[in-house]
Each structure stands twice: as C-alpha cells, then as structure tokens.
Amino acid sequence: MTQTTYRHGHFVWHELMAQDSAGAEKFYGELLGWTFKHMDMGPSGTYRLIIANGREQGGIFQMRTGDNIPSHWCGYVSVPDVDGAAKVAESKGGKLVFGPADIPDVGRFAYLLDPEGAAFVVWRDKRGDQDPRQTPGVGDFCWDTLTTSSGEGALEFYGTVVGWKRGKFGDAPGLFFAPGEGQDVIADVEAPPPGAPSAWTTHVVVTNLDHARSKAETLGAKILARQIDVPTVGKMSIIADPWGAVISLFEPQMPE
C-alpha cells in the first residue's frame, strides 16, 4: 500500500489469533482459496498475511503457549488516535488487553474488549488504509456482526470510541452501524444465542454456500448455524474452525 488516505471507523483488517497458525493456514487456504505471505516477527514467530484477490486483507497470529486464550477472529477498526481511543474505551467500561503499541514501520494498535467482552482492535496504519473494493469478491471479508445483549449500549460505546453512528440498511429492521453520519453501513447487531457470550463475527464471501459448508465439515469445522437466510441479500453459515474460532461463510444473492 502506498496511499496515505484513511477510512476512519471502517474495519480495515481481520486477524485470526490462532493456537495453531500453520494448521489454520492449511484449513483456510483449502476452504477459502486464500494464499499467504510469511513475515518473520522475531521472538513472536511467523505472521501469516492473508492474500485474497491479490490484496492483503488480514493475517494469522500465533498465540504463545500458555496464553490460555481461545482461538478467535478480531477486526481492526481504523482510528485517527489509537491512544485516545483506548483511553475512551476504558473510561466507558471497556478493557485494554494489550497496548497501545507500535509495529515498527507499520502502525500502532491497541487490543480491546468492549463492556460485554467482545474483542476488537483500534488501529492506525502509517501507510494509510486500503481503498475498499466496490463489490466484495469470493474470499473477501465483507461484513461484521456484533452479538450483544444491549445494542443501544453498544452503539453508545462504539460511537464514543470509534465514531460510529446509527445506520440504515434499506428498509431492514434492526440496528446497524455506520462509520459516520450518512455513510454506508458496515456492521449489524444481533442478540447472542442463549448462553453465548458477546462477540464479533466476520463474514467471508463464498461462491456456493452448500459446497463451502460441506468442505468446512470435511476439514474438521463444526457447523454452529447451518443456514441463515437474509432476504434479498444472501445466505450464510456460521462455523467454528477446528480450533474453535468462529467465522461466517456468506453467499450473496445474485441480482436476477
């Protein structure tokens, strides 16, 4: 990336915090057709950059043995001031897990939990943020969903921390987040299943949901929600990879 423009309030990166990064690379490569570029991070090991449709879109980070943290996906939200966002998050009931810290010559980040425990990262890239694709392609991250018992509370929290506003998605009911007033929506809010914690789930485009779900099962994934239909939008399956990280496979509805 060479551009120095920013898309504050947008998800600009998705990262898998993995218990087995090599296994995760094999799983997601076979399932979604992703390719990977390896980066040496010294004592932290190898960082695996996710390449989809010729673009770096995320990464797989190997957690340390003994961290006792389940594998999970985490979205990075672009902000103008990482330290300021982290302080506001803490003041509003969030928890600072790590940082703020610099990745030399790359950017600055802070890993946070919202008041209900959903993980996210606030991020400022020294190089600027990638321009969005007009239409997400197969293998692209395309949407994010927050499961929470308090959508209005989440709107207040994220609105203060990263500047999100209440968005509108056509005539669809429910709560949507937009990165700013009058901008396109980037995420929605759902109630968590009984007994499930609050969490973020990211969605990835697939060509054929039935085939992708079947392949995921063959590769060792657990199907959490076999099919969720979203009228006029598409359909999705929620899966947990072999190490428990949750992700959504999304087949968009093609216009007739």
Interval 157-195: pLDDT, tens: 999 999 999 999 988 889 999 999 989 999 999 998 888
What local confidence, expressed as pLDDT, does residue 20 receive? 94
**Banded pLDDT at 2 (limits 50, 70, 90):** very low
Sign of the alpha-carbon torsion through 187, 190, 193, 195: positive
Q: How far is CA 222 from the centre of its chain?
A: 19
The mean per-residue pLDDT over the stretch 213-226 comes to 97
Of residues 197 and 111, more confidently modeled:
111
Q: What is the mean pLDDT of residues 69-98?
A: 96
Q: Which two tokens stand for residue 160?
A: 């203060």
Identity at 130, one-letter amino acid code: Q
The pLDDT, as a whole number, for residue 77 is 98
Q: What is the mean predicted confidence (pLDDT) over 102-127?
A: 95
pTM of the complete model: 0.94
> What is the pLDDT, as a whole number, of residue 150?
92
Do 38 and 44 form a contact (C-beta atoms < 8 A)? no
CB 118 within 8 A of CB 136: no
Q: How confident is the model at residue 197 (pLDDT cuts 50, 70, 90)?
A: confident
Q: Evaluate whether 249 touches 213 at the Cβ level (below 8 Å).
A: yes
pLDDT reading at 31 higher than 70: yes
Average pLDDT over residues 225-244: 95
Q: What is the mean pLDDT of residues 45-53?
A: 94
pLDDT at 1: 40
| Nearest residue to 161 (alpha-carbon basis) of 103, 108, 106, 113 | 113
Structural domains for the chain = 11-125 (3.10.180.10), 141-252 (3.10.180.10)
Evaluate whether 121 touches 139 at the Cβ level (below 8 Å): no
Residue 256 pLDDT greater than 90, yes or no: no
What pLDDT is stored for residue 92 in this prediction? 97
pLDDT of residue 255: 59
Q: What is the mean pLDDT of residues 201-228?
A: 97
